[in-house]
Structure formats: structure tokens, C-alpha cells
Amino acid sequence: MTRPKGPFDEPVDPVRRSMFGAAVAASMTAAAPLSMAQSGRIALERAPLAASNEERGILAALDLVYRNHRFLSVPEEDGRLLRILAESIGAKHVVELGTSTGYSGLWLLLALVKTGGRLTTYEIDRRRHQLALENFSRTGVSKRVRAVLGDAHAEITRLKDPIDLLFLDADKDGYLDYLQKLGPLVRAGGLIVAHNMASPPPDPRYVEAVTTDPAYDTVFLNMHDAGVGVTLKKR
């Protein structure tokens, strides 16, 4: 079965690609301005290719959500980043705050079918939670997802299992509370990924917490867009 053509299948613009290639090549010489590479919006990526039937099912669901019912979903680039992060640390348990209609959760599922892991995800809005359930059920691997309806601030207090990757994408002024409640469950070597570190502006108390504690090391990526904070829990 082939995946229906979707937004991930946009051809790479050869002009932009060659411009970016030239910028990268130029940046390797001492005199070249690095900003050339930084300012070129990269059009080198291609759609992720399914390497298994499970991946094919998830990609088809992603396509459908992308077209029909995303609600404040992460940009595609951030979804792909989430998948790569989760898969590369071999995440067995991912916790997401802010399911919405399941778009970022589907990207995470691409990792979890590979690692044999599971996703616990929280959403306060009944309609979005319901849509997410439907979207997860389209993948054929929804047994890997526990989607919880309710206020995550209260619901997460029931969590006891270690977390490999914690993804914060619910109420933006709640990030510090989520960190304080779930940070202790994140294993050493695990990641805390926080969305919207550029736009809307993040809660400075959260930024302070992940940049001044020696237990954490944090980088901020994709700051030209919504921005993503990636925090390694070192111990």
C-alpha cells in the first residue's frame, strides 16, 4: 500500500536547494558569512519514508491530521525533531502535556513503534481528546498510547513510572509546575522538550529553571519559528 500524496511530498525547490548548498559551501571558507546558511530556509528535507507497515500507517494518519484537524499543532519540523530525539534515546515511555488532536503524538509514535515504547498524553479539551483518539486509532498501533482527558496539572500526580522523554506543550504558564512535578521522574540521560520557547514568549521561570540548574543542560532550537527547548537531564 502506498501512502497518499500529502504535504510531506512537496518537491524540493531546486533553486532554494542550490542556494542553500552554495551558502553551506561558502560557510566553510573563513570569509564566508555564516548568516547565509542560517538565513536560507532549508528545503533539503524530504518526506520521511516508511520503513515498515507500522510506520506507513502512522504516516498516513499524520497526513490526514495535517490536512484536516490540526489545532495549534507543532510545525512539521518540530514533529520530526521529536521523533528523532525519542528514537535516538531509545525512549520507552514518553509523556506529553497537550495532546490536541494528536499531531505531535503521531510523530512520537513513529519513534515508539521502533523502540517498543509507549506514550502517555494529556488533553483538557474533550473534543480535541476525542479527535486524537480517532487519529491514534487510525494508525493500527494505538495500543501504545494512553490518552488522558483532564487537567494535566492534577492528572500527572498519578504518574509513577520513569519517563524517558517529557514533552511540554500545554498551557504555557504551567511549564514550571510540570517540570517540578515530573522532572523527578525523568531518568538520568532523559530529555525534557519544551515547545514555544520563542513564540509565544516562554515563562521566564521555566527558562531559568532549565538553564541555571547544573543537573540540566539546555539548548534552544528552531527559534526562527515557535522555538523548542531541549533539556538533557544529566543526573
Ligand X SMILES: C[S@@+](CC[C@H](N)C(=O)[O-])C[C@H]1O[C@@H](n2cnc3c(N)ncnc32)[C@H](O)[C@@H]1O
Which member of 58, 62, 100, 142 binds ligand X (CB under 6 A)? Answer: 100
Residue 122 binds to ligand X (criterion: CB under 6 A): yes
C-alpha grid cell, residue 29: 571558507
Which member of 69, 93, 128, 233 binds ligand X (CB under 6 A)? Answer: 128
The contact pattern for ligand X, residues 2-41, with x = CB under 6 A and - = no contact, is ----------------------------------------
Q: Is the peptide bond before 14 cis (omega within 30 degrees of 0)?
A: no
Q: How far is the CA of 142 from the CAs of 34, 65, 178, 190, in angstroms?
A: 44, 15, 25, 24
Count CB neighbours of 120 within 10 A. 20
Which member of 74, 95, 210, 230 binds ligand X (CB under 6 A)? Answer: 74
Residue 55 binds to ligand X (criterion: CB under 6 A): no
Stretch that binds ligand X, among 97-105, 109-117, 139-147, 177-185 (CB under 6 A): 97-105
Stretch that binds ligand X, among 6-14, 87-95, 165-173, 227-235 (CB under 6 A): 165-173
Decide: 104 and 129 in contact? Cβ < 8 Å.
Answer: no
Q: How far is the CA of 1 from the CAs of 10, 52, 53, 122, in angstroms?
A: 20, 11, 9, 32
Stretch that binds ligand X, among 13-21, 42-50, 166-174, 179-187 (CB under 6 A): 166-174
Residue 138 binds to ligand X (criterion: CB under 6 A): no
Q: Which is nearer to ligand X, 72 or 215 (CB)?
A: 72
Beta-sheet pairing, 93-97 with 163-168? parallel
Stretch that binds ligand X, among 17-25, 27-35, 157-165, 170-178 (CB under 6 A): 170-178
What strand order describes the sheet that includes 186-195?
A: 145-149, 118-123, 93-97, 163-168, 186-195, 228-233, 216-221
Q: What SS3 state is found at 90? A: coil
Please state at what angle helix 126-137 crosses helix 103-115, rounded to 10 degrees: 40
Nearest to 161 by CA among 120, 121, 206, 216: 120
> Cβ-closest residue to ligand X?
98
Q: Enter the DSSP assignment of 226.
A: T
Q: Which is nearer to ligand X, 65 or 186 (CB)?
A: 65
Residue 62 binds to ligand X (criterion: CB under 6 A): no
Q: Measured from the CB of residue 48, what is the shortest distance to ligand X in angstroms?
A: 16
> What is the size of the binding site for ligand X (CB under 6 A)?
20
Question: What does the binding site for ligand X look like in residue numbers (CB under 6 A)?
Answer: 71-74, 98, 100, 103-104, 122-125, 128, 151-153, 169-171, 174
